A = this chain, B = another copy of it.
Amino acid sequence: MIVNPLNSSTIAAGVDIGGTKIAVGLVDAHGEILAQRSFPTEASLGFERGVERIVRAIDECLAEVGSSCEFLEGVGVGCAGPVHPKHGTIDNPYTLPTWDGVDIVSPLRATFDRPAVLENDADAAAVGEAYFGAGRGARSVVMLTFGTGVGSGVLIDGRIYRGATDTHPELGHLPFDPAGPECYCGVRGCLESLASGTAISAAGKTAGFGDARGVFAALKAGDKQARAIVDRAISAVNTAAWTIQHSLLPERIILGGGIIDEHYNLFADAVRKAVENATLNPRGCTDVQQARLGNLAGIVGAAQCLRIAQ
């Protein structure tokens, strides 16, 4: 008889694949990470090499906690989109060159002889926060992540909300200002083009502040131009929150990402204002919270995606 060497009842592997870095971890049923590894993605070295390194990292983590793949529930993968959860395929020539139409689920399933699932990384992070972070206790959650872009994940009754053809809705591309910057999504002045780190940096560069950090430093020093750049971003966040209140109407809005780490109150106030002014919605039906798991939401959420898929 093989005895599970861990007191923890179950462990699942969570894999968080980004354009720069892949992070792998073993996650218990309480969302605790028992062991983790990370390494550069180097997508251009080819997909097979990527899978090999993910498998090796999971094996190393299992060895570290004194376990083996007999005790693994399975592998959940969150990956920078576009991905196709239903088919387990990644289709992202943008940040994962050569990983184009590749099936990541089948080799992981075959190697470990365990279930495997694939989700969009923003959805995986939202699942992590919803189950083990800022979303606990809420029936429906919208998470917005303000970083290089504006990522979004929507959970309804503990499940990832999927649109037509199971595609992930992109709240980062809600349209607000037809006179705003052009975006690859097809409109001018979407949320991402006004309020992402990239957008604030671009406006800051033009205005001589260097980058987003420079804009916020100048704002603190009372600079009017910096105030205008931040106001434009904050106004977009306010309108995004209003839109979310009148389309998805979640119980909780979670804000995360690099900019939020430093400027949560500024962004949260804009969201709260929209929620409070929405007279058609019941008072107090939605609250706002800051993401709690940071970069680990990806691993924890990917592992949990495996569990909620079963």
Residues of A whose CB lies within 8 Å of any CB of B are 139-140, 156, 161, 163-165, 167, 169-171, 173-175, 184-187, 239, 242-251, 277-282, 285-286
Instruction: Given A140-B164, A248-B248, A277-B186, verify A174-B243 contact (CB < 8 Å).
Output: yes
A239 — which chain B residues lie within 8 A by C-beta?
Answer: 175
23 A–B contacts, CB within 8 A, in A order: A139-B164, A140-B164, A163-B249, A163-B281, A163-B285, A164-B250, A164-B251, A164-B285, A169-B249, A170-B246, A173-B280, A174-B246, A174-B247, A175-B239, A175-B242, A175-B243, A186-B277, A186-B280, A187-B277, A243-B243, A243-B247, A247-B248, A248-B248
A164 — which chain B residues lie within 8 A by C-beta?
Answer: 139-140, 249-251, 281-282, 285-286
Instruction: Given A164-B251, A186-B277, verify A246-B282 contact (CB < 8 Å).
Output: no
Task: Tell me whether A280 and B163 are in contact (CB under 8 A).
Answer: no
Instruction: Given A170-B280, A185-B280, A279-B185, verify A163-B250 contact (CB < 8 Å).
Output: yes
Please report the C-alpha to C-alpha distance between residue A167 and residue B285 in the assembled complex, in whole angstroms.
Answer: 9
Task: Tell me whether B248 and A282 are in contact (CB under 8 A).
Answer: no
Please report the C-alpha to C-alpha distance between residue A156 and residue B246 in the assembled complex, in whole angstroms.
Answer: 16
A252 → chain B closest CB, angstroms: 8
Task: Tell me whether B163 and A278 are in contact (CB under 8 A).
Answer: no
Task: Tell me whether B249 and A167 are in contact (CB under 8 A).
Answer: yes
A285 — which chain B residues lie within 8 A by C-beta?
Answer: 163-165, 167
Please report the C-alpha to C-alpha distance between residue A156 and residue B140 in the assembled complex, in whole angstroms.
Answer: 15
Task: Tell me whether A167 and B281 are in contact (CB under 8 A).
Answer: yes
Please report the C-alpha to C-alpha distance between residue A197 and residue B156 in the assembled complex, in whole angstroms.
Answer: 33
A172 → chain B closest CB, angstroms: 8
A149 → chain B closest CB, angstroms: 11
Please report the C-alpha to C-alpha distance between residue A170 and residue B247 in the assembled complex, in whole angstroms.
Answer: 7
Please report the C-alpha to C-alpha distance between residue A165 and residue B251 in the assembled complex, in whole angstroms.
Answer: 8
Closest residue on chain B to residue A163 by CB atoms: B249
A241 → chain B closest CB, angstroms: 10
